[in-house]
Amino acid sequence: MNKLTDEIRIIPVLDIPLIKEKDDLAKIISERINLEDNDIVVICETVVSKSQGRVIDTKKINPGELAKEISKKTGKDPRLVQLILDESKEVLKIGDTVIVVETKDGNICASAGIDVSNVCGDESIVGLLPKEPDQEARKIRLELKKLTGKEVAVIISDTQGRPFRSGAIGVAIGVSGMKPLWKRAGEKDLYGYELKSSKIATADEAASAASLLMGQANEGIPAVIIRGSKYQKGEGSSKELLREKEKDLFRC
């Protein structure tokens, strides 16, 4: 466990150019900010997807009958609906304007996490979620260490909604160099009560904090450094943050 400092800083990585396929994100970030040991580097999934070439022109998609049927219910372009289905393991809910699915990586989110905003000036061009985000986070972390000599954690973040809560927040969909969950069972509270089952989603908290600077519109800040935050070092997977299907009370 790294030590908490007397302050936590959230620092934007400025002047990052528009990312293209095969761009080296670690190199781009390291050239624009001086990293320190124990920093958490939070990178939005959109730029990771772009660097992986996970960008698709929906004009080239031929929608099937199911996509056309769902399109009529939601008002979404049938080609986009087909892409959502292609990226999903299971469709959970279909509302008037939303399609909630379980992606192939296990994330529960609207529209399979497919981005239309901040991808390209052409609305037909959309970005898919990154492929193997935990492995991509690890790749970026190791490259940052090679370039800077610093031991940092890396989070790939997305913006998602939550059951029973309005509005979206940042969540971690890829993690490396830190445990995504801080299991505090056995510790005591202020009054000496022993915690029984408390788990803190540290990686999600960091992703949410970073989104305060990243924003969702024209802020143009796809990477943020969190400095001074307490977290457990080590390797983990963002999949630890996903509730087991049999324990998910909201899937009904």
Q: Is the distance from CB of 173 to CB of 231 less than 8 angstroms?
A: no
Distance in angstroms (rounded) separating the CA atoms of residues 37 and 48:
23
Instruction: Tell me: pLDDT of 135 over 60.
Output: yes
Q: Does domain 1-53+130-243 have CATH number 1.10.240.10?
A: no
Cβ neighbours around 172 below 10 Å, total: 30
How many helices (H) and strands (E) would you count in the chain? 6, 12
Which pLDDT belongs to residue 115?
Answer: 82
CB-based contact 161:167 (threshold 8 Å): yes
Q: Give the lowest-confidence range in 3-12, 133-142, 172-181.
A: 3-12
Closest listed residue to residue 208, CA positions, set 10, 32, 3:
10
Q: Two tokens at 74?
A: 């939601």
- Please determine, for residue 2, whether its predicted confidence score (pLDDT) is greater than 80: no
Question: How many beta carbons lie within 10 A of that of residue 225, not counting itself?
Answer: 21
Spatial CA neighbour of 229 closest among 200, 186, 197, 189: 200
Helix, coil or strand: residue 132: coil
- CATH 3.90.1660.10 location in the chain: 55-128
> Residue range 65-69: average pLDDT?
96
C-beta neighbour count of 109 within 10 angstroms: 22
How would residue 118 be classed by pLDDT, with cut points 50, 70 and 90? low
Q: List, by residue range, all CATH 3.30.1330.100 domains of the chain.
A: 1-53+130-243
**Is there a contact between 14 and 213 (Cβ–Cβ < 8 Å)?**
no
Q: What pLDDT sits at residue 101?
A: 94
What is the pLDDT at residue 249?
A: 73
When pLDDT is averaged across residues 135-162 and rounded to a whole number, the result is: 96
Q: What percent of the chain has pLDDT over 70?
A: 92
Answer whether residue 49 shows pLDDT above 70.
yes
Predicted confidence (pLDDT) at residue 238 exceeds the cutoff of 90? yes
**Domain with residues 55-128, CATH architecture:** Alpha-Beta Complex (3.90)
Instruction: Name the DSSP class of 17.
Output: P
Interatomic CA distance for residues 129 and 106, integer angstroms: 12
What pLDDT digit, counting tens, does each position of 16-34 carry? 999 999 999 999 999 999 9
Tokens of 134: 């935990």
Give residue 16's pLDDT: 94
